[in-house]
Amino acid sequence: MRILIVGAGAIGGYFGGRLLKAGRDVTFLVRPRRASELAQHGLVIESPAGGVVIPSPPTIMAEKIEGPFDLVLLSCKAYDLAGAMNSFAAAVGPGTMILPLLNGMRHLDLLSERFGRSRVLGGHCLIAVTRDPRGAIVHLNESQTLSFGELDGERSDRIRAVDDQLANAGFDARLSDRIVQGMWDKWVFLATLAGITCLMRASIGDIMASAGGERSIISLLEECRAIAEGEGYAPAAAVLERILGTLTAAGSPLTASMLRDLEANAPVEADHIVGDLLERRPVRITSDREPCWLSAAYTHLKAYETRRTRSPGPDSPAKGRG
């Protein structure tokens, strides 16, 4: 199976590097600067699960793509999706599968509109990675899960073929019959985490130590959970308990990568992570006595984007998403 990894940033570089080391047929679709960097220094992964160094990994630029790949793995930020789709369009043929690892759900519609829904798989990952100033990919903890599946949950021949390629490649690959539910579960968690830490400009531990902090977190989580329920994807009780435990852990240093982007004056995924969820709210969820935390978080992020257009800063280094 010919696999095209769109980009060689933190997430794409990590999973692509593991697949290369495991002997899979992987090519990275990159821009000239990253191609030069990889040619000079190689693909370097530093991880508690074991380091990887691949001198001169296979790369290609968009204008050089001459035929279809079997699998396209996509891990860009949501605001880069349109450009990414243009860059790999020539790699999509009749049998090509597209496996996106973006957060939220809007990208599924955009990819389906461009390439056809039959080519799009569901996926999400649980990993914390970043790139250091040298361009090396640094794995920050032990989590390295990539979940994937058919959007309708079918165990098709093609998804089994993907499973064969991703299995035993140095990370935790999980074929899921309920991948869309898993994507919603992660979205509920991430929208709450991003919304509250960006709105308060603080970690979970600092918010929990503040007056009204725990109540604010729980209220925002309930808003997000209720929207998921309205869409038919309410988190199971055990999942919700796990999310709540993570989001209310005393002393936790946890923040969303969106907050780190915001603090670096970099672009943020406000519309894709928070705005799209807010648009799916069918009725007013909160009472007149309770603030709408999701709406407040979205307004806060959009105000940041408005200010940033007057004084844009450099894009932050590629970061992984938890």
Query: pLDDT tens across 200-226, in order?
Result: 999 999 999 999 999 999 999 999 999
Note whether 151 and 180 are within 8 A (CB). yes
| Region at 157 (left for phi over 0; alpha for psi -120 to 50; beta for the rest) | alpha
Q: Which two tokens stand for residue 215?
A: 């109540």
Mean residue pLDDT of the chain comes to: 93
Local structure of residue 276 (DSSP, 8 states): H
| Region at 23 (left for phi over 0; alpha for psi -120 to 50; beta for the rest) | left
Convert the pLDDT of each residue in 23-49 to its tens digit.
Answer: 999 999 999 999 999 999 999 999 999
In the numeric block, the tokens 């209220």 are attached to 219
Domain 2-177 shares a fold with domain 182-310: no
Report which residue type is found at 200. M
Distance CA 95, CA 311 (A): 44
List the CATH code of the domain at 2-177: 3.40.50.720
Please give the pLDDT value at position 282.
75
Please give the pLDDT value at position 87.
97
Note whether 103 and 124 are within 8 A (CB). yes
Which pLDDT band holds residue 321 (cuts at 50, 70, 90)? very low
Q: What letters, b where the CB count within 10 A reaches 16 and e where it falls short, cover 196-232?
A: bbbbbebbbbbbbeeeebbebbbbbbbbbbbbbeeee
State the burial class of residue 257 (Cβ atoms within 10 Å of its Cβ: 0-12, 13-18, 19+): buried
Distance CA 269, CA 247 (A): 20
Distances (CA, A) of 302 to 166, 192, 203, 299, 307: 38, 16, 20, 5, 9
User: How many CA atoms does the CB half-sphere of 84 hold within 13 Å?
Assistant: 25
Convert the pLDDT of each residue in 92-107 to its tens digit.
Answer: 999 999 999 999 999 9
Which of 1-15, 62-76, 190-204, 280-294 bottoms out in mean pLDDT, i.e. has the lowest?
A: 280-294
Which pLDDT band holds residue 133 (cuts at 50, 70, 90)? confident
Instruction: From the candidates 21, 64, 77, 186, give the one annotated as an active-site residue.
Output: 186
The domain ranges of the chain are 2-177, 182-310
* Angle CA 316–21–172, to nearest 5: 75
Convert the pLDDT of each residue in 172-199 to its tens digit.
Answer: 999 999 999 999 999 999 999 999 999 9
Catalytic, 186? Answer yes
Instruction: Considering only CA atoms, give the Rg of the chain.
Output: 20
Please give the pLDDT value at position 210.
98
Convert the pLDDT of each residue in 146-167 to its tens digit.
Answer: 999 999 999 999 999 999 999 9
Q: Which two tokens stand for residue 236?
A: 């199971």
Local structure of residue 43 (DSSP, 8 states): E
Please give the pLDDT value at position 317.
40
User: SS3 for 212?
Assistant: coil
Convert the pLDDT of each residue in 49-71 to its tens digit.
Answer: 999 999 999 999 999 999 999 99
- What CATH class does 182-310 carry? mainly alpha
User: SS3 for 29?
Assistant: strand
* Angle CA 276–284–210, to nearest 5: 80
| Region at 118 (left for phi over 0; alpha for psi -120 to 50; beta for the rest) | alpha
Please give the pLDDT value at position 311.
77
